[in-house]
Amino acid sequence: MRRITILWALPLLAGGLFACVSNYPVTGHDPVAAYKAQGLLSAKEQLTVGVVAFDPGSSSVPPGSPRIATPLEIREAEARYLAHGIGTALKATGHWDSVSVVPAATGAVDVTVEGRIVASDGVRLILDIAVKDAAGWTWINDTYGSSASPGVYRNDNGNDPFRAVFDAIARDVLTARRRLSDSDAKRLRAISTLRYADGLVPDSFKDYLLEDNHGRYRLNRLPPRDDPIMIRIEEVHGRNGELLELFDDHYARFSQALRAPYRRWRQRRFQEVMAMRRAQPGGTWLDAMAMTVGFGGLTGGRYLHQTTGFVMPARQQADMQMALATHLGRVEAIDAAFVEQLEPVMIEVEERTRTLGRYGADQYGLWQRLIREIHGAETGRI
């Protein structure tokens, strides 16, 4: 069963909201720092991690829905920002050889973290997270989420309002890593290198790896240490590490520039949702969230309270709908103002300026072209 981890910054709002929930209270301690206190892994035990820029998810809503769709431009910016947040939390543990945020999955790392935005509106953050290693084994396939309280936006202490989500993911990835023995980690690094080599020189290393019907790999044998192709592959792999650092630095600078306007957008959205709540006589917090995350809402021309089943009188319903329409219009204006602050994502590689496209095949194609252009690996040859 897929596990759903919800880290509540408020008391649990409603029972039965999700089918399977693990609740972790948000406290003042730093769970990542607690792992650091357990002692760092040795260099030979440390693995490389690639955090892929997230899938922005769907920003559309059904016709006639009381919710407002988040513009795709905002979702795409969040996809990069949130991936960087998780990468930062992973780095903070000190247990990894390297952690890089990349535009698309790459065979050049031992562990890959991918995510999809389920909900993000300043009130709550919900992410689908999948973590797999180079051998094809799944470490994590969970949903993580947290709700915000008004206090998180009153003082800007430099931390993300939803940092608890990042820390929980970093903690769980590290827990999965600790289940591997030293020999497991060594084999995983060898598999990662050979899969990367096979991607550059197809079929040259197929005898060294065995793949089962589930897409999982195991070592058959290792190439000779003096294999000239393998020596060249290792050189290319090292150069690829520089490219990973370049992308990671780009995402770090992007996230730093986005942090302040993104926080303001979240805060203003949060305030409007709270105002929607106040606009509903006898309404509940869950009713307010319905406007942005899709629970409850307008039913058959009457407003039906999610928890009580009470139907409002027509006049009261009309006044409430007018107030809600005003706040929803403000949310649209808040979104539009934030979109205007977003700029195209540019990166300079080998004295060439590139524009990182939207999540999907175009980014993956860009990644592959950069690898081949920089390393001269054309038509499968080095």
The pLDDT, as a whole number, for residue 21 is: 32
Phi, psi of 57 (to 5 degrees): 75, -175
Amino acid letter, residue 201: V
Strands (E), 240-360: 298-299, 302-303, 346-349, 352-355
pLDDT at site 33: 54
Four-CA torsion 33, 36, 37, 41, nearest 10 degrees: 170
CA 345 – CA 77 distance, rounded (Å): 9
pLDDT at 348: 62
Cα separation, 195 vs 255, in Å, equals 31
**CA gap 313, 282 in Å, rounded:** 13
Phi, psi of 379 (to 5 degrees): 50, 35
Q: Are 114 and 144 in contact (CB under 8 A)?
A: no
Report d(CA 104, CA 170) in Å as an integer.
20
What's the pLDDT at 299?
34
Kindly state the helix (H) or strand (E) to which residue 206 belongs, with its residue range. Answer: none
Give the per-residue pLDDT at 369.
Answer: 65
What is the Cα–Cα distance from 157 to 30, expressed in whole angstroms? 14
Joined together, the tokens standing for residue 213 give 């019907």
Q: Please provide the DSSP assignment of 106-144 as one string.
A: -TTSSEEEEEEEEEESSSEEEEEEEEEETTS-EEEEEEE
> So what's the pLDDT on residue 292?
45
The 10s digit of each residue's pLDDT in 110-147 is: 999 999 999 998 888 999 999 999 999 999 999 999 98
C-alpha closest to that of 68 among 259, 338, 345: 338
Q: What is the pLDDT of residue 71?
A: 87
Closest to 264 in 3D by CA, of 211, 335, 207: 335
What integer pLDDT is reported at residue 356 of this predicted model? 57
pLDDT tens for the chain, 382 residues long, are 555 555 544 333 333 233 233 333 333 345 555 455 456 666 667 899 999 999 998 765 545 444 567 888 899 999 999 999 999 999 999 999 999 998 888 878 999 999 999 999 888 899 999 999 999 999 999 999 998 887 888 877 778 899 999 999 999 999 999 999 989 999 999 899 888 877 777 777 778 888 899 989 988 888 887 777 777 777 777 777 777 888 888 889 889 999 999 999 999 988 888 887 777 655 544 444 444 444 333 333 333 444 445 566 666 667 667 777 787 788 888 888 888 888 766 666 555 555 555 443 455 456 566 665 655 544 345 5
Q: What is the pLDDT of residue 18?
A: 32
Nearest CA to 111 among 82, 132, 130? 132
Query: pTM of the prediction?
Result: 0.77
